[in-house]
A and B are shown apart, each in its own frame.
Chain A
Amino acid sequence: MAIVRFADQKLFRNPWADFERMRRELDALFQGGGPEASGRGAVFPALNVSEDPAHLYVRAEIPGVAASEVEISIEGDTLTIRGERQTCKAEEKCSYHRREIECGRFSRAITLPTKVQVDKVEAKAADGIITITLPKAEAVKPKQIKVNVG
Chain B
Amino acid sequence: MTEKEMQIQQKQEVQQAGEPTKPEKQYVPAVDIFETAEAVNVLAEMPGVAKEGVEIELENETLTIRGVMAPVVCEGETVLLQEFQPGSYLRKFTVAETIDQEKIQATMADGVLTLVLPKLAPAKPRRIEVRGS
A-side interface residues toward B, CB under 8 Å? Answer: 36, 40-44, 46-52, 57, 59, 61-67, 84-85, 87, 91, 93-106, 110, 113, 125-129
Contact in complex: A129, B111 (CB < 8 Å): yes
The B interface, classified by DSSP as helix, strand, loop or mixed, is loop
B37: interface (CB < 8 Å) = yes
Which residues on the B side are within 8 Å of A64 (C-beta)?
45, 110-112
Q: Give B57 Cβ to nearest chain A Cβ, in Å.
A: 19
Known contacts A100-B30, A105-B2, A127-B49; A42/B35 CB under 8 A: no
Q: Give A58 Cβ to nearest chain B Cβ, in Å.
A: 9
Contact in complex: B47, A93 (CB < 8 Å): no
Beyond A47-B83, A48-B81, A105-B2, 12 extra complex contacts between A and B, CB < 8 Å: A36-B82, A42-B8, A44-B8, A46-B83, A48-B84, A50-B79, A61-B84, A64-B45, A94-B36, A97-B35, A105-B5, A105-B6
Residue of B nearest to A95 (CB): B35
The contact string, 1 if C-beta is below 8 Å from chain A, for chain B 38-56, is 0001010111111000000
Which residues on the B side are within 8 Å of A87 (C-beta)?
32, 43, 112
Q: How far is the CA of A47 from the CA of B47 in the complex (A)?
A: 12
Q: Give A81 Cβ to nearest chain B Cβ, in Å.
A: 13
